[in-house]
Amino acid sequence: MTPTAEEHAERYDLHGLRQQMLRESSGTIDDSIPELAAASADVCGIAIVDDDGDTRTTPDADLEFSVQSAVKPFVYALALVDDRERVLDAVGTEPTGEAFDAIVLESETGRPPNPMVNAGALLTANLVDGSTPDERFARILSGISAFAGRELTVDENVSRSEQLLGDRNRALGYLMRSRGTLDIEVDDAVSVYARACSIVVTAEVLATMGATLAFGGRNPVTGEQVVPREVVPIVLSIMATCGMYDGSGRWMRRVGLPAKSGVAGGLVASVPWQLGLGVYSPPLDGEGNSVRGVLACEKLSDDMGLHVFGPPRDEARYR
């Protein structure tokens, strides 16, 4: 019998993987806001959480950074919990092949193409329960903290910069208002979304969040059922098709896991019913995904047999 993912995770040389990743020097630091531009290129944190909530980490897995777009699947999950039919009606579920900040809506419907691009996330962040921006953000922060298994906070400097420099997101907001897709003030919508992107996480936190999705919405560290199990397949399937932007096709071929990246250098992946993975390393590839995060997940997937379409653990049965 092939070792289980948990057995692999217990004895995998994560530190050796990190050293190997640090020898990769390609990629560029995001400079869309000053706080992101100040990040170090010489850090790489990797974390794995299994079904018992056991957590394995490398150095740098405790470094704090803003979650950015890696928050989008979790905000989407919370919005689905709060009003599933409205969310599925308001936001598409199709990959675009465009950049995450593309000024693109579905031509016929005026809907955002999916909840992983900025237009979709801007809308889903404002479809969670709450009649004011503060109430909606409070719902998001509480829900994301439950996915993380700890009380999370916001980097107020990042949030301020995201709002001050968020002209493209405001443009998306006005475009959606012009199509009747967004019915609240654009600045209010952007403020909720910008604060969600500014929530502070670590690679270890991302691995716990990824594990919560991996185990049907139940946080394996705290035991809390964060979202109902039936919401999870919707979220994981859209992470798999859209989570890595226009690198999603290559990612699914090479890694084969639902995942989501963020421009601060975070990457979260879920191995359904096996593990959650979190990686943090700021240098990004051309699609806005962490170079070392992608490479680390490729290696983990190959070495531990994590590809969702790979051979089964009890492969001998099928020979």
The footprint of ligand GLN (CB under 6 A) covers 68-69, 100-101, 118, 162, 169, 197, 262-263, 288
Instruction: Name the residue nearer to ligand GLN (CB basis): 9 or 67.
Output: 67
Tell me the closest approach of the beta carbon of residue 186 to ligand GLN, in angstroms.
14
Structure letter (DSSP) for residue 226: -
Residue pointed to by tokens 């691995």: 207
Instruction: Name the residue nearer to ligand GLN (CB basis): 114 or 169.
Output: 169
Tell me the closest approach of the beta carbon of residue 309 to ligand GLN, in angstroms.
26
Tell me the closest approach of the beta carbon of residue 289 to ligand GLN, in angstroms.
9
Instruction: Name the residue nearer to ligand GLN (CB basis): 55 or 69.
Output: 69
A 10 A CB-CB count for 25 gives 10
Tell me the closest approach of the beta carbon of residue 50 to ligand GLN, in angstroms.
27
Instruction: Name the residue nearer to ligand GLN (CB basis): 24 or 287.
Output: 287
DSSP character string of 155-204: -HHHHHHHHHT-HHHHHHHHHHHHTTS--S-HHHHHHHHHHHHTBEE-HH
Instruction: Name the residue nearer to ligand GLN (CB basis): 55 or 281.
Output: 281
Instruction: Name the residue nearer to ligand GLN (CB basis): 69 or 96.
Output: 69
- What's the rounded Cα separation, in Å, for the pair 5 and 3? 7
- Whether residue 123 contacts residue 112, with contact meaning beta carbons closer than 8 Å, is answered with yes
Tell me the closest approach of the beta carbon of residue 244 to ligand GLN, in angstroms.
10
- What's the rounded Cα separation, in Å, for the pair 301 and 201? 23
- What's the rounded Cα separation, in Å, for the pair 220 and 197? 24
Instruction: Name the residue nearer to ligand GLN (CB basis): 118 or 301.
Output: 118
Using CB atoms, what's the residue nearest to ligand GLN? Answer: 69
- What's the rounded Cα separation, in Å, for the pair 253 and 78? 28
- Whether residue 9 contacts residue 56, with contact meaning beta carbons closer than 8 Å, is answered with yes
Tell me the closest approach of the beta carbon of residue 250 to ligand GLN, in angstroms.
17
- Whether residue 204 contacts residue 47, with contact meaning beta carbons closer than 8 Å, is answered with yes
Per-position b or e across 8-21, b if 16+ CB within 10 A of its CB? bbeebebeebbeeb
Tell me the closest approach of the beta carbon of residue 263 to ligand GLN, in angstroms.
4
Task: Collapse the DSSP code of 31 into the 3-class scheme (helix H, G, I; strand E, B; otherwise coil) and give the result.
Answer: coil
